Amino acid sequence: MSEKYDIGIIGAGPAGYTAAFQARKQGLSVVLFEKDKVGGVCLNRGCIPTKAILHSAEVFEEMKSAQELGIFADNLRVDYEKVVERKDKIVEKLRKWLELSLKNAKVTVINAEAKLLSKNSDFTEIQADNTVYECGKVIFAGGSSPRDFENLRFDHEFVLSSDDILELKKLPESILIIGSGAIGIEWARIFSAFNVKVSVVEVAEHLLPNADIEVSKRVERIFKSKGIKTYLKTSVEKIENKVVTLSSGETLTAECVLLAAGRVPANCDYDTVLGDACGEIQLAHFAIKQAISEISKVEFDKNLVPSVVYGCPEIAWVGKREQDLENYEKSYILVSALGKSHCDNCTEGFIKILSCNGKILGAHIVSKEASSLIQQIIIAMQNNIAINDLKKVCFAHPTFSEGIFESIIN
């Protein structure tokens, strides 16, 4: 006996559950397979849990300098077990909400690993938990997993993955982070805020190698000011007996190592693949837009997908980087020129907009609220709003967003 569905979706992360909701809106019958927990990496081991812990770190960091704001608190300390408990509660609450939403939308959720049985021109057979599902169309949204290397394996005790690090119940005294992409940078900021001794090893010439060069250099300056030690143009040769040997020959020790050097897309043999499994842009909002585009045919521009690195201050960018361009104009303002940054005690950073003959080509922001500021530039770029049109917009004062206006009006 087999069950029949219009569409079968493998993986209930952002790509899979978004595709499921969109398909149900169109009246299609949907079976969604999840071998672990609904919400995928994003909700259970990625975006949400890290940002929950990061928020605790940010509050602690802010409280350390609260005296400057006229606020005094005695015996400031961190109870990391409580930090983790709060993170777990947030994840659980959001997961329950997602499970309920899927139930209300009448998506059939099967909590089991899905395997491809057979494909023919009319339907595909998927097997899960000894049942065969006959699906008119199958979408694979199986995500990705942390990458390790032959000479650098996760042992889940000393060499940790981004999954393992979420399970720590106690803060280490020191940590060595390998890789300075978004995950490495965010955890460096979290641990540093909690007074853990942090070192970062990056094989590229600069931290955040995918960012605009000025952004990378600014992050390096911020890390230096916080006492985070960085080793650039350096790789890890080996780890033996908790001693890390760098390509320079130097050896380092730390209580643990976070290996954050990319993610491997899940292997599959399906025609339609969405989200991290594509190995294209491994971000939750990209997975969501892809799913909406696949099912509901609402197009989006892959060149206008924002990149955000959270922490204090936030880092966000879109479009071309300065090192990619030859002929361009640069609009620029330091965040410290904005009244609001002084009121909020957050003067670090800049807003940079790159354009050519008035057409915006890219924007790079290091600032409090950068994750929201970048959205304003994306809306402008998406709608061909040129620099001169943007000048006509009235921005509220005092805000960080008036920095966009201030950068282009000078």
Ligand X SMILES: Cc1cc2nc3c(=O)[nH]c(=O)nc-3n(C[C@H](O)[C@H](O)[C@H](O)COP(=O)(O)OP(=O)(O)OC[C@H]3O[C@@H](n4cnc5c(N)ncnc54)[C@H](O)[C@@H]3O)c2cc1C
Which residues are registered as beta bridge partners of 244? 239, 252
- Give the Å distances, CA to CA, from 148 to 129, 153, 172, 214: 30, 5, 22, 29
Q: Is 311 in the site for ligand X (CB under 6 A)?
A: no
Would you tell me how many other CB atoms lie within 10 Å of the CB of residue 104?
9
329: which DSSP letter? E
Distance in angstroms (rounded) separating the CA atoms of residues 313 and 316: 10
Of 277-296, which residues contact ligand X (CB under 6 A)? 277, 282-285, 287
Among 5, 22, 34, 223, binds ligand X (CB under 6 A): 34
CB of 370 to ligand X, least distance (A): 13
- Give the residue with the Cβ less far from ligand X, 295 or 408: 295
Give the x/- contact pattern for ligand X in 159-178, rule: CB under 6 A: ---x----------------
Q: Is residue 134 packed enough to be buried (19+ CB in 10 Å), middle (13-18) or exposed (0-12)?
A: middle
Is the previous residue joined to 172 through a cis bond, with omega within 30 degrees of 0?
Answer: no
SS3 category, 400: coil
DSSP per-residue string spanning 191-252: HHHTT-EEEEE-SSSSSSTTS-HHHHHHHHHHHHHTT-EEE-S--EEEEETTEEEETTS-EE
Q: Please work out the total of residues on this chain that contact ligand X, with binding judged by CB under 6 A.
A: 35
Binding mask 330-359 for ligand X (x = CB under 6 A): ------------------------------
Q: What x-and-dash track marks residues 93-122 binding ligand X by CB under 6 A?
A: --------------------xx--------
Q: Shortest gap between Cβ of 76 and ligand X (angstroms)?
A: 27
Using the minimum distance from each CB to ligand X, give the nearer residue, 13 or 319: 13
Q: Helix 14-25 vs helix 80-104: angle between axes, to the nearest 10 degrees?
A: 20
Q: Site map for ligand X, 239-278, x if CB under 6 A?
A: ---------------------------x--------xxx-
Which residue lies nearer to ligand X by CB, 143 or 179? 143
32 part of the interface to ligand X, by CB under 6 A: no
Figure out which of the listed residues 16, 172, 313, 319 binds ligand X, where binding follows CB under 6 A: 16
Single-letter code of the amino acid located at 236: V
Residues forming the site for ligand X (CB under 6 A): 10-16, 33-36, 40-42, 45-47, 50, 113-114, 141-144, 162, 183, 266, 275-277, 282-285, 287
